[in-house]
Amino acid sequence: MENVIHLFESSFPTLVEYKYLFLFLGSIFEGLNSMVLGGFLVSVGTVKLVPIFLIFTIGYVFNGYLWYTVGYFAGAKPIDKWARNDKKGRKVVEKVEEYFHKYSGRAIIFTKFTFSLTIATLIMAGSFKYDLKKFSLYNFIGSIGWVMLTLFIGYFFGQSYKFFIEYLQGLSYLVLFLGGAVALVYVLKLVLGTAFVKSLFLTEKLRELSDKLKDGIDKLLSDKE
């Protein structure tokens, strides 16, 4: 393991020297890959857990404020542009908007664990001029949850790599394990996003079914009268 780390440090000296700064910027503008990398680096002892957790949390919270600001000044135009030529995407955005009006806090937290819905919801919050104090709270909670998840997965794969280090020497294997961690987070985020969207449409279908059942019962009772 020490040989691999030394190889990485000699190959990317600037990246290693300013690792906390690069990881902080990555958490703001990129997010997923940087946080998984952070967890991986914690597991191999290159960075410390508490500082990197604080850095990632601050960075991802700041990311939420950036998209909120976009929505605050640009309104819903960025979302409309994204969904304009995508009928399915437009319908999803409409459902998220309905959900946001009912459960704004939950929407901000839950969509932090999805792909494109994260940005759309944060912009939506800004365009509605959603209360900044409430947004700050939910943005913070969602950010902590996402940082914990990504750090854990990165750390887990780092520990797995250390377990096999005796047999897997070389930087290429390190990249392979790191890529596996990133792939897992992508899959989880996709699954969570899909589940969230399906739950929105399932609620609508259940409501429609309930209305039809109610109408049927009302009609049956009226016929008997």
Using CA atoms, how far apart are residues 182 and 184, in angstroms rounded to an integer?
5
Of the candidates 11, 14, 21, the one whose C-alpha atom is nearest the C-alpha of residue 47 is: 21
Contacts of 221 (CB under 8 A, 6+ apart): none
Per-residue pLDDT of the chain (225 residues; tens, 9 = 90+): 545 455 445 555 566 677 889 899 989 988 788 888 888 888 878 889 999 999 999 999 999 999 999 999 988 777 776 665 666 667 777 777 888 888 888 889 988 888 768 888 899 899 889 999 999 999 999 999 999 988 988 888 777 766 655 555 555 555 665 666 667 677 777 666 666 666 665 656 556 555 555 555 545 545 555
Of 11, 43, 33, 52, the C-alpha closest to 162 is 43
- Transcribe 111-164 into DSSP letters: GGGSSHHHHHHHHHHHHTT--HHHHHHHHHHHHHHHHHHHHHHHHHHHHHHHHH
Domain range list for the chain: 2-224
- What is the phi-psi region of residue 79: left when phi exceeds 0, alpha when psi lies from -120 to 50, beta otherwise? alpha
